[in-house]
Structure 1
Amino acid sequence: MTHDSHKTLALTALTLRVQNLERQLAFYGDLLGLEVVQRQGPQTELALPGRHFTLTLQHEPSAPLRPQPTLGLYHFALLLPSRVALAAVFRRLVEARYPHFQGASDHGVSEALYLADPEGNGIELYRDRPRAEWPFRGDRLAMVSERLELEALLAEAKAGRGLVPQTTLGHIHLHVGDLDKAQAFFQGLGMELTQGDYPGARFLAADGYHHHIGINLWARGRTAPAHSTGLLAYEIALQNRPPQTLTDPNGAWVQIVPL
């Protein structure tokens, strides 16, 4: 991966429309450890002390819960700096008996835990392996989905804790209706295809990363009711790019800001 000082792209913010704000705050705040940094009207902004990303919850009590799977967010992925940090969050979830844990995978490039927040928004918690250990097929990345030994991971942490301040927004994975159109959109933001042979999915990134964006066809074109809960917007910081607001292939706002 490119050293931080030479990054050309970073994911820096995400906004979710939520139906039950207090329940979501209990999850993101009390369980995962994000702190409220600002409240303005229906919006509550959360962050970790490191301020590497912000999560904004837009409260709309009348919003219908988004059915799964439908076009839009598959998951957003929070990147922890070490295996121990990942294990500590896992232990916290286990100790809390969190009911929406969905599974775990070893992707070769990373180790990942999957869960959903109380309103069904997908979340991946993961740690990267050193780039020298990433699997390649020729000159192409070859991510896999293999079993992750959860007991071994859990043994890395003697105590549970929330997300550490160094946690970043590592990637966003979207259900889309057309892979070619979605790929073209994100290539227009300076990303390159890193893996295109994963069944029904493609992955794109800048700076030699494994992926900043995942896109897939697994929702089979199903759409959610208008104004449903879920992903409203996300922010991408780009080097040498003026501020700009775009809409992604699913209609979410994409705020481009300087890196």
Structure 2
Amino acid sequence: MTIDLTRRTLLHLAGASSLGAAAIAAAQAEGTAGGSGPTFANRTPMRIGMVTLRVRNLDLVADYYRDAIGLTVMQRSATSARLGSGGVALLDLERRESAAREARNAAGLYHTAFLMPTRKDLARWLVHAAKNKIPLSGFADHLVSESVYLDDPEGNGVEVYADRAPETWKWDGGSVAMATDQLDIDGLLALTDTRTTNYAKAPDDLRIGHMHLRVGDLEQADRFYGDAIGFDPTRKRSGAAFLSSGRYHHHLGINVWQSAGAGPRDDTATGLAWFSLEVATQQILEAQTLRLQQAGAPAAAIENGIETSDPWGTKLRLIKV
């Protein structure tokens, strides 16, 4: 009874009448119908580091990521906030009170995906979401992972997910099988106590597993993030492509569902300011620098790395760690 009540609560928060409806909503959000320590996604030669967002209401958005996702506020001032987990910075927020809101059909952020260390952690967070009436936008089983979708108060997309064991992923050469199936909410909730929430904060090993971006042209974006940055393609479907390092299912999603033909981004508007890609060796960083130069892309030196931007002006910092 408790599990069924919680499931109904979650469906209500997602504005869905059934798991099938929630999966359809997740398809619109994603577009593709454990133990302790860093997950596989964060042990690859290249992996997502942190994200910086420009926001109008700093307090509202910072409180959301603290209360809804469970991130710890590491630094906070009148103009910025830094949040993370386990002492690792994951999210910077920059206050831009008078900024125009970035349009949904502009290039930019589609969602930031927070990766739970284990399936049980995802289950505990789901109970937390239900008990705190956090609005959700969809659920999905992607075969390689299980995902929940939501939006922050300024419309920035968020995914909270847990990976299945990498040895269960089905590869056909360089392409991994992914889908958008119904999420087994009952199976998730069976892993935890649904009568109360014990999710006081995000697990110490929570990280950003992948980024999903809106771009203006899929082939152009594929060349930049593949040829110039060095990601390998892992999956393609109508209007979208997925890329990764080290045989992860995807560190990066790119799509043109809303943004086909988009021009340069307005870097004074709200939304994604930049995200970082951590690289494991100096050799990788040097190879990236050379490829960027050969592609005619910007490659400005910064501390421990370089900063570049994709063809629409989304900034990416490549950092040697």
Q: Same fold (TM over 0.5)?
A: yes
Residues 41 and 209 of structure 2 are in contact (CA less than 8 Å); yes or no, is this contact kept in structure 1?
Answer: no
Q: Distance in 2 between matches of 1:5 and 1:63?
A: 33
Alpha carbons of 1:48 and 1:195: their partners in 2 closer, same or farther (altered >3 Å)? Answer: same
Residues 2 and 208 of structure 1 are in contact (CA less than 8 Å); yes or no, is this contact kept in structure 2?
Answer: no
Alpha carbons of 1:193 and 1:4: their partners in 2 closer, same or farther (altered >3 Å)? Answer: closer
Residues 50 and 166 of structure 1 are in contact (CA less than 8 Å); yes or no, is this contact kept in structure 2?
Answer: no
SS where residue 62 of structure 2 aligns?
A: helix
1:249, CA displacement in angstroms?
Answer: 3.0
Structure 2 unaligned regions, length at least 5? 1-37, 287-304
Amino acid at match of 1:31: A
Q: Determine whether 1:189 maps to 2:229.
A: yes
Q: Determine whether 1:168 maps to 2:207.
A: yes
Say how many residue pairs are matched: 256
Q: Determine whether 1:81 maps to 2:117.
A: yes
Residues 116 and 122 of structure 1 are in contact (CA less than 8 Å); yes or no, is this contact kept in structure 2?
Answer: yes
1:185, CA displacement in angstroms?
Answer: 1.2
1:6, CA displacement in angstroms?
Answer: 6.3
SS where residue 219 of structure 1 aligns?
A: coil
Amino acid at match of 1:257: I
Q: Distance in 2 between matches of 1:48 and 1:237?
A: 17
Richer in helix (by share): 2
In the TM superposition, what are the counterparts of 1:1-259 in structure 2 within 5 Å? 7-39=44-76, 42-51=79-88, 53-99=89-135, 101-137=136-172, 140-158=175-193, 159-160=196-197, 161=199, 162-187=201-226, 188-196=228-236, 198-221=237-260, 227-238=268-279, 239-240=281-282, 241=285, 243-259=305-321
1:255, CA displacement in angstroms?
Answer: 1.0
Residues 149 and 159 of structure 2 are in contact (CA less than 8 Å); yes or no, is this contact kept in structure 1?
Answer: yes
Q: Distance in 2 between matches of 1:23 and 1:215?
A: 28
Residues 206 and 212 of structure 1 are in contact (CA less than 8 Å); yes or no, is this contact kept in structure 2?
Answer: yes
Residues 111 and 148 of structure 1 are in contact (CA less than 8 Å); yes or no, is this contact kept in structure 2?
Answer: yes
Q: Distance in 2 between matches of 1:32 and 1:142?
A: 28
Q: Which runs of 4+ in 1 moved over 4 A?
A: 1-6, 222-226
Alpha carbons of 1:229 and 1:190: their partners in 2 closer, same or farther (altered >3 Å)? Answer: same
TM-score (norm 1): 0.90
Give me the CA root mean square deviation: 2.3
TM-score (norm 2): 0.74
SS where residue 221 of structure 2 aligns?
A: helix
Residues 74 and 122 of structure 1 are in contact (CA less than 8 Å); yes or no, is this contact kept in structure 2?
Answer: yes
Which has the higher mean CA deviation after the structures are superposed, 228-237 or 131-140?
Answer: 131-140
Alpha carbons of 1:67 and 1:150: their partners in 2 closer, same or farther (altered >3 Å)? Answer: farther
Residues 74 and 121 of structure 1 are in contact (CA less than 8 Å); yes or no, is this contact kept in structure 2?
Answer: yes
SS where residue 68 of structure 1 aligns?
A: coil
Amino acid at match of 1:15: T
Alpha carbons of 1:233 and 1:65: their partners in 2 closer, same or farther (altered >3 Å)? Answer: same
Richer in strand (by share): 1
Residues 80 and 92 of structure 2 are in contact (CA less than 8 Å); yes or no, is this contact kept in structure 1?
Answer: yes
Higher relative contact order (CA 8 A, sep 6+): 1
Residues 2 and 209 of structure 1 are in contact (CA less than 8 Å); yes or no, is this contact kept in structure 2?
Answer: no
Amino acid at match of 2:276: E
